[in-house]
Structure 1
Amino acid sequence: MDSDELQVRRVLEAWARAVRRADVDAVVAVHTGDVVLFDVPPPMVVTGIDSYLRQWRLFWEAQGEGLFDVSGLTVVAGDGVAFAHGLLRIGAAGTEGFEVRLTVGLRRVDGRWLVTHEHHSVPAE
């Protein structure tokens, strides 16, 4: 595993820990201000860190601290951009939760990998 891939994985692990703890500051710390989110609940497209955090606050109100576990993560990192995809198990503490698909785009900003795009989705039925 190369250094950039390892750094991206660490960013995504920090993000998942922050979401599990409902730690707003730690979530913001690993995202760009112009982050774009394609989310499962409406609206379909969320742009900017303030709107992004509104989505997370709704999530935390609904489930509190709980499951937010990434698995099967594949990471590809280049000079200034990276992407990762895997599965994400989400749900309230003490439940089995459910899985969604996760795709994340990152870019290097001042030497740090930051999340600039997230896509959470469920299969269409």
Structure 2
Amino acid sequence: MPTQHEVDEAEIRQQIGKIVEGIRAKDLEGLKRIYATDVVSFDVEPPLQHVGVAAKLKNWTSAFTFFQDVTYEVRDLALTVGDDMAFGHCFGRLSGTLQNGTATSGMWVRATFCFRKIDGDWLIVHDQASVPFDIASGKGVTDLEP
């Protein structure tokens, strides 16, 4: 019989899987169910923070406009799970076919997710996507691989 901790970790991994599925399907409604209504997101695009699920979905809508077909890959997901809070980190990459028909392998970002168990569901209350920064050039480094 699995422990509650094992059950919770499996549920969080399923939520990450739903993000991957939701992005591939460009399913905003499906993605909406994964985030808390008051999620705070530190995404790769300005501004510094996006507050609320509507702002998070606006980011996904913006990303989807660039792609005919889009995929999202997660590597090296590590989770730490408590009773009602959890966090995880991984590498993530959006790739696919752009609207003009060009295939792109995208770029890897560092991703962090913070989950809270709300009414029995593990929802993302904070996420952050970032790229390493080259201090000398003042630019993000987008060609690294995990």
TM above 0.5: yes
Deviates more, 1:58-67 or 1:28-37: 58-67
2:114 corresponds to which of 85, 97, 105 = 105
Identical columns (%): 30
**What is the deviation of 1:91?**
2.2
Corresponding residue for 2:58?
Answer: 54
Give, in whole Å, the separation in 2 of the partners of 1:51 and 1:124.
Answer: 25
Give, in whole Å, the separation in 1 of the partners of 2:69 and 2:49.
Answer: 24
Corresponding residue for 1:43?
Answer: 47
Instruction: Indicate conservation of the 8 Å contact 2:20/2:71, yes or no.
Output: no
Q: Which has the higher contact order (CA 8 A, sep 6+)?
A: 1
**What is the deviation of 1:25?**
0.6
Unaligned runs of 5+ in 1: none
Given the two structures, how large is their TM-score scaled by the length of structure 1? 0.94
Moved over 3 A (4+): none
How many matched pairs? 125
Corresponding residue for 2:32?
Answer: 28
1:90 corresponds to which of 90, 94, 102 = 94
- Over aligned residues, Cα RMSD in angstroms? 1.3
Whose helix fraction is larger, Structure 1's or Structure 2's?
1
Highest Rg: 1 or 2?
A: 2
**What is the deviation of 1:73?**
0.1
Give, in whole Å, the separation in 2 of the partners of 1:30 and 1:74.
Answer: 18
Unaligned runs of 5+ in 2: 98-102, 135-146
Give, in whole Å, the separation in 1 of the partners of 2:69 and 2:120.
Answer: 31
